[in-house]
Each structure stands twice: as structure tokens, then as C-alpha cells.
Amino acid sequence: MFVGVSGPNSDVRQSARRVDQGDWRNAAHFASEALESGTSNRNKNAAAINLCAALANEGDAGTADACATAIERNPEGWEAFTNRGGAYWLAGDHASAAADFARAAELGAGEEAVAHNSALAQCNG
């Protein structure tokens, strides 16, 4: 349901790896470190996507803000919409999740996570 996005920055790579492993606490830690560092916008964009996934899975109150930031930083990134959709899904807002999954499908047709989440939304619809 969630995807990690890697990059050349070591904190971003670690956060992506932790997202892929389901190690949400450490994914959030490394993503936050990257966002607070002087790294490039490309790395911060990836870190924002990873932080959205991590906080959503931890049930953190900052999830909505983190996911909004991920979308703002990556308005054409299927990964940002996939992860925000997953956050909505976990929060029980299946209509908003389906909308984000549909946008992810427009931007990232053929991606495994996109296909998985689209099928999930259709089963619930």
C-alpha cells in the first residue's frame, strides 16, 4: 500500500529502506533528519513522501500535515498520492483514498503499488 522513495542522501536511502521494511519509527526518524538537513530539494521531496508513509502507519497526529507537504513538494509524483491515499485508507476515509489512488494511477500507470491500491479501492467501492 505504501512506497518508499530513495535518493542520493544517506538519510533518504535509510528512510526508504525502512518504509519498504515496515520499520515506521526509524523511517520517520531518517526522513525527518533529511528534511531538517541542508540536502537538495530532490532529497527533501523523497523524504517528505517517506515521512507521510511512516507517520500514517504509526497513527501519528502529524500525518495529515506530512502528507500535504509530500503532495505540495511532489504534485506530479504518483508516490506522494499513493502514500497519502494509504494514509486516508488507514484513517478510514476510503473516498479520499480512492481519489488519491486514482490520481496515482494517472501519474504512475503500471506501477505495482498503484495497481494494488487501485484494486483495493475497487473492492471497497
Q: What domains sit in the chain, N to C, each tagged with a CATH number?
A: 10-124 (1.25.40.10)
pLDDT at residue number 94: 94
DSSP annotation of 61: T
With 80 as the cut, is the pLDDT of residue 88 above it?
yes
Q: Is 37 exposed, middle or buried (0-12, 13-18, 19+ CB in 10 A)?
A: middle
What's the rounded Cα separation, in Å, for the pair 109 and 65?
A: 26
pLDDT at residue number 42: 96
Percentage of residues of the chain with pLDDT beyond 90: 94
> What are the CB-based long-range contacts (under 8 Å, 24+) for 62-70?
63/87, 63/91, 70/45
pLDDT at residue number 125: 58
Which cell goes with 43?
532529497
pTM over 0.75: yes
